Homo-oligomer: A and B are copies of this chain.
Amino acid sequence: MSEYSAPLRDMRFILDEVANFDVISSLPGYEEATPDLVDAVLEEANKLASEVLAPLNQSGDEQGSRLENGVVVNPEGFADAHAQFVESGWGSLPFDPEFGGQGLPFTLGAPLLEMWASANMGYSLLPLLTQGGIDAIGHYGTPEQKATYLENLVTGKWSGTMNLTEPQAGSDVGAVKTKAEVQLDGSYKITGTKIFITWGDHELSENILHLVLARLPDAPGGTKGISCFIVPKYLVNEDGSIGERNDLRCVSLEHKLGIHASPTAVMSFGDNGGATGYLLGPENGGMRVMFVMMNNARFGVGMEGVAIAERSYQHALAYAKERVQGRVVGGGQDAAIVDHPDVRRMLMQMKALTEASRALAYYAASQNDLASHHENEVAREAANDRLALLTPLVKAWSTDIGVEVASLGVQVHGGMGFIEETGAAQYYRDSRIAPIYEGTNGIQALDLVGRKLPLAGGATVGSLFAEISGTAAELQNGDMAEVGNSLALAHEALVKATEWISTGHVDDPRAQGTGATNYLKMFSTVVGGWLMGRAALAASRKLAASEGDAGFYKAKIATTRFYAEQILSQVPGLLSAVTSSSEATFAIDPEQMTG
C-alpha cells in the first residue's frame, strides 16, 4: 500500500514541454544534459527513491529521531540509506564541478528533489538543507572557505543546517539575539540558543556545518545588524581533517505533528565560552546570505508540497482501485471505489492539483538555469526576475496543495484513512509543516505583493501576463476553446486583482495585507492553468503527430480540462476576497473577538 514509484512520464513530459528542457540543455555548460542522460538520471533516482528511501518512510515516522545521552539517534536504516545517497553522488548533481559537483542543470534537480521528498520527506530535509549551505558558501564564501567546506558539502560527506529562529525571532528574523564576538585570530565566538533547527544534530555525517545568524557587538538593531557565521560541529584542521568538537550541542528535539524522522533541534551555542564561527559574507550582511540559502530552500519546500501531493495521490489511487464497495451508476454491485463519481472526482482533483504544481515548480526551476547560464544578460535578468516572481507561488501554493491533496487522500480511504497503519494519515501530518517553514505562506503572499509585483517597474508581471493571454488565445482558437475561455476569464480577474492590490488600495494601507493570501491563490491558480494549458497543447500536438504515448497525452488533456472546469473556474470568485477593504477584517477589537 505504501509503495512509491516516481511519475516518470509526467516528470519527463513537464521537463520537455513546460520547462523547455531542450533550451536548458543547450545553454553553455549544460551540454552534457542530453535526453539519454536525463532518462538515466531519472530512472536511477527512482530506484533509490522507490527501493531505498520509500520503504523507510513509515518506519521512520513510527520510530522518529530521538536524543539519547546527548546523541541524536535516527530511525533504523537511515544511516545506510544516506550512505547510499552520498555514495551515488545524488547531492552533487547541480553543483559546480570545481567543488565536486556534476554541473547539471538545476531544472534536472527539481524532479530529484520531488522524488526524495515523495519517498521520504523526513529524510529529504537532510540533503535539502545541505543545498542551502552550498548555495550560501558558494555565493559568499572566501576562496579559503570554499576550499575548506564546499566539496565536503557538495559530495554529501558533511551536511548543513540553517540556524535562524530563536524563541523571540521567528518570522521577524531581525529580533535575533545570538551574539558573535571577534577573536584575535579573526574567528568569532558565538553564544546563543536557536530553535527549530532541522537535522540540527545527527550521526549520519562526519561533520555538520551550521550557518548561524548572530549579532556583532554594537551592530544596528533589526535585520541590518545581523551577520552570518559558519559554525562547524567539529572544527576543521588546516589539512582539512576533522578536529576538535566545537562548543555547541543539541539540547533537545521537538515532539512534532509530522516529519518525525527529521530531528528538529534546539541548539545551544557557547555553553563553555563560545562556539567558534567564521564570518560568511560581509559584517551585518547576514540577511543577504540568508536570502540566498532561503531562496533555494523556498523552492525546495515548494517541491515538498508537490512531492507529498504526488505520494498521497499514488497511495489513494492504489487504494481506490483495490477497495470494492457498493454499486455504481451504470455498473453492477461490487465496484471498485475508483468508479464512484465522488471518489473519482477527489482523485482527479488530487491529480490535477499535483500536476499543475509540478508544472509550476519545474518551470520556475528552468528560470533558475536561464538566470545563471544564459549567454544574454537581458535574458538572464528577465529569467531571474521571473524566478523571483514565481518563487513565492512555488513555495506557498504548492505547499497548500500538499495539505489539500493529503487531506483528500485521507478522505478517499474512508475510515481506513484515519488509521495510522494505512499510511495516508502520515502525509496529512507531514504535509502540514510545509506552509509554515522557510517563511510562512502568509509571508510569501506579502513578498509577492510587496516585493515581486514591483519588479522591473511592473514589467516582470506584465510580460508573464502577456504570455498567459497568448496561451489562452491559442487554446480558444484550437479544439480546447473551453479551457482557453476558463483561462481567459481567470486571467481577466487576476488582472483586476493585480491593479487593485498594486495601486487601488492606497487609502487603505492594511488592505494589501488582508488581500495578499487570496491574491497569491488567484495568481498561482492562473499560472498553474497557463502551464497546464501549455502542456495540453503540447500533448495535443503529440497526438496529432501520432508520437509516443497516446494514453498519457489524452490523460494530460483530460486533466487540464478538469483543472479548467473545476479549479481555474473558481478564480473569478476570489476577486471579492482580494479587493474588499480591510475594514471588516479589522472592525472588531481583539478583546471583542471571543464569543
Contact call B342/A586, Cβ cutoff below 8 A: no
A408 to chain B, nearest CB (A): 10
A400-421 interface (Cβ within 8 A of B) = 403, 407, 410-411, 414-415, 417-421
- Counted per complex, copies of this chain come to 2
Query: Does chain B have a CB within 8 A of A66?
Result: no
Residues in chain B near residue A10, CB distance under 8 A = 595
A310 with B342: CB separation less than 8 A: no
Cβ contact within 8 Å between A255 and B419? yes
Whether, in the assembled complex, A11 has its beta carbon less than 8 Å from a beta carbon of chain B, the answer is: yes
Pair B425/A411 contact, Cβ less than 8 Å: no
Instruction: Give residues 567-593 of A contacting B (CB, 8 Å).
Output: 567, 569-577, 580, 582-590, 592-593
Q: 16 interchain pairs (CB within 8 A)?
A: A5-B594, A170-B415, A171-B325, A171-B414, A196-B415, A256-B418, A257-B419, A258-B418, A317-B590, A338-B590, A342-B446, A414-B440, A417-B436, A554-B592, A569-B576, A570-B570
A224 within 8 A of B: no
Most buried by B among A175, A552, A588: A588
Near B by CB (< 8 A), chain A positions 553-577 give 554-555, 558-559, 561-562, 565-567, 569-577
Residue A555 contacts which of B417, B429, B588 (CB distance < 8 angstroms)?
A: B588
Chain A, interface residues (CB within 8 Å), range: 35 or more
Distance in angstroms between the alpha carbons of A407 and B590 in the assembled complex: 21
**Counting CB contacts under 8 A, is A433 at the interface?**
yes
- Asked whether A341 is an interface residue with its Cβ less than 8 Å from the other chain, the reply is yes
Q: Using Cβ atoms and an 8 Å threshold, which residues of chain B touch A339?
A: 590
Contact B9 A595 (CB under 8 A): yes
Report the bound CA distance from A441 to B509 in whole Å. Answer: 40
Chain B residues with Cβ below 8 Å from A7 are 594-595
Q: A9-B595, A573-B572, A594-B7 are in contact. Are A256 and B420 (CB under 8 A)?
A: yes
A343 CB within 8 Å of chain B: yes
A254 / chain B contacts, CB cutoff of 8 Å: 418-419
Residue in chain B with minimal CB distance to A347 = B593
Question: Which of B171, B320, B329, B590 has a CB less than 8 Å from the CB of A326?
Answer: B171
Tell me how far the C-beta of A400 lies from the nearest C-beta in chain B, rounded to whole angstroms. 10
How far is A552 from B595 in the complex, measured between Cα atoms in Å? 8
Give A326 to B420 CA distance when docked, in angstroms.
38
New A-B contacts (17) at CB < 8 Å, excluding given A195-B415, A257-B420, A340-B442: A5-B594, A175-B326, A255-B421, A320-B590, A329-B510, A341-B516, A341-B586, A429-B429, A554-B588, A559-B584, A561-B587, A562-B587, A566-B576, A569-B575, A569-B577, A572-B572, A572-B573
Which residue on chain B has the smallest CB distance to residue A314? Answer: B594
Chain B residue at smallest Cβ distance from A351: B593
List the B residue with the shortest CB-CB distance to A255: B420
Does A103 reach chain B (CB closer than 8 Å)?
A: no
Q: How far is the CA of A325 from the CA of B582 in the complex (A)?
A: 21
Contact A516 B421 (CB under 8 A): no
Query: For chain A residues 301-346, which have a beta carbon within 8 Å of chain B?
Result: 310, 314, 317, 320-321, 324-327, 329-330, 336, 338-346
Contact among B11, B325, B403, B567 for A172, CB-based, below 8 A: B325
B165–A415 touching, CB < 8 Å: yes
Q: Is A355 an interface residue (CB 8 A)?
A: yes
Which residues of chain B are within 8 angstroms of A310 by Cβ–Cβ distance?
595
The interface residues of chain B lying within 8 Å CB-to-CB of A417 are 436
Most buried by B among A325, A555, A566: A566
Given A329-B510, A569-B576, A595-B8: A418 in contact with B442 (beta carbons within 8 A)? no
Whether A513 pairs with B594 at a CB distance below 8 angstroms is: no
Within 8 A of B (CB), among A1-34: 5, 7-11
A410 touches which of B411, B432, B517 (Cβ 8 Å)? B432
In the bound assembly, the distance between CA atoms of A586 and B343 in angstroms comes to 11
Quick check: B418 and A436 within 8 Å, CB to CB? Answer: yes
Residues of B within 8 A of A165 (CB): 415
Q: A257-B429, A414-B171, A516-B342 are in contact. Are A589 and B509 (CB under 8 A)?
A: no
